[in-house]
Amino acid sequence: MSLQSVRDDLAARAPDLDVIVTDASTATVQLAADVHGVAPGQIAKTLCIRASATRKCCW
């Protein structure tokens, strides 16, 4: 998915969530944790949202 398609989908399904874009690499959990100043256990590399009983979206 492109960044814009994720933004569009979140705007429709979860407008209270923000997409954070960084210039630094977040390719691994450790890199993402370092960039955002959090512990590795606070990083989710894949998001799955159940939109209904039969539909689920994953990024």
Question: Is pLDDT at 58 greater than 70 in this prediction?
Answer: no
Give CA 52 to chain center in angstroms: 19
Give CA 50 to chain center in angstroms: 14
Whether the predicted model's global pTM rises above the 0.75 cut: no
> pLDDT for 31-50, tens place per residue?
999 999 999 999 987 777 66
Q: Which residue has the tokens 């705007």?
A: 11
**Are residues 33 and 40 in contact, defined by beta-carbon separation less than 8 angstroms?**
yes
Question: Is pLDDT at 52 greater than 70 in this prediction?
Answer: no
Residue 18 pLDDT class (50, 70, 90 cuts): confident
1 closest CA partner among 31, 46, 39, 34: 46
Identify the DSSP state of 56. E
Q: Which residue has the tokens 């949202």?
A: 49
